Structure 1
Amino acid sequence: MTDTTRHLGATGFEPTMNKIAKLLPKLGVSVAGSRLLAVRGRQSGQWRTAMVNVLTDADGQRYLVAPRGHTQWVRNLRAAGEGELRLGRKSETFTATEVSDADKAPLLRRYLAKWGWEVGKFFEGLDENSTDTEFAAAAPGFPVFRLDR
């Protein structure tokens, strides 16, 4: 197992599941609001894709949370400032604005309430019932982007 694989907690089973999960949005199937994020690579300029869960707040504002931290898609989105959310043949372009650490606590709480079953292992000790202080301490490790059409 490589250091990266060990760090992400991947097992032999997870890469297969990731491939299947990435295929579903291409076929137009969304699991719990998942989409295929497409963003141009910051060095290559080529489209890169990753599975994401789109968080929508009570006002209809949408966000992307990076449960695995400062990943390649996060770095690419920071550099590009825009991307696409894909589901089947539908593609929606957006611009992205990174949310400040001070504003992340309620978003991280809501994200864990909805997808904790899927991504909770990446939040080490946090769950939807954690305190604002605990979320504030963890916020720098979890990039969050506000999406605008």
Structure 2
Amino acid sequence: MPNYLKPPFVTSRIVNPLISTLRLAPVLGTRGRRSGEWRRVPVNVLELGDSIYLVAPRGYTHWARNLLANPEVELRRAGRTERFQAQPVPVEARLPLISAYLEKWGGNGGVKEQFGQLPDPADHPAFRLVRSP
């Protein structure tokens, strides 16, 4: 099993739903890899130039595994929902993304500590989001 840092109960059952409901962060929608049902979770989005990326600081999270199984996603932000195809970023191309992600989000909710617990870029799936037609 790939490395994964399970979020604390308070994060997964209270904080994340509250953030999603109050629209305090972008919300990623993925299809469950087994159930096929839509799953939603708040995420930190990384924009570099014209590209949009998602990086999983906790490792192979459920949303990351869902994207690997089904790359069709929805991203709700600023009151709009957009559809994307998630393209996995190869391990050898992740380090610059992780550095940029840490620069932008490293002070947010233990992100830096999560990368410290899983220092290998191979432990952090990353995806480039390409708008669906």
TM-score (norm 2): 0.83
- 1:17, CA displacement in angstroms? 2.4
Instruction: Return the letter of the residue paired with 1:8.
Output: K
SS of residue paired to 1:23: helix
Does residue 120 of structure 2 align to residue 122 of structure 1? Answer: no
CA contact (8 A) 2:29 2:39 kept: yes
- Of structures 1 and 2, the one with the larger relative CO (CA 8 A, separation 6+) is 2
Report what 2:42 is aligned to.
51
Structure 1 segments unaligned to the other structure (5+ residues): 1-6, 127-136
Instruction: Return the letter of the residue paired with 1:120.
Output: K
TM-score (norm 1): 0.75
CA contact (8 A) 2:16 2:41 kept: no
Flag the structure with higher helix content: 1
Instruction: Return the letter of the residue paired with 1:56.
Output: E
1:11–1:47 Cα change, 3 Å:
closer
SS of residue paired to 1:105: helix
Match of 1:104 among 66, 69, 94: 94
Q: Kindly provide the CA deviation profile for residues 96-123 of structure 1, in whole angstroms up to 9, marking residues without a partner as x.
A: 1100111011110000001101211201
Separation in structure 2 between the aligned mates of residue 98 and residue 21 of structure 1, nearest angstrom: 26
The count of residues paired between Structure 1 and Structure 2 equals: 125
Larger Rg: 1
Match of 1:39 among 7, 27, 30: 30
Does residue 129 of structure 2 align to residue 147 of structure 1? Answer: yes
1:52-71 maps to which residues of 2 (within 5 A)?
52-57=43-48, 59-71=49-61
Instruction: Return the letter of the residue paired with 2:47.
Output: T
1:80–1:11 Cα change, 3 Å:
closer
* Larger CA deviation: 7-16 vs 80-89: 7-16
- 1:138, CA displacement in angstroms? 1.2
Separation in structure 2 between the aligned mates of residue 124 and residue 12 of structure 1, nearest angstrom: 21
Separation in structure 2 between the aligned mates of residue 14 and residue 83 of structure 1, nearest angstrom: 20
Percent identity of the aligned residues? 40
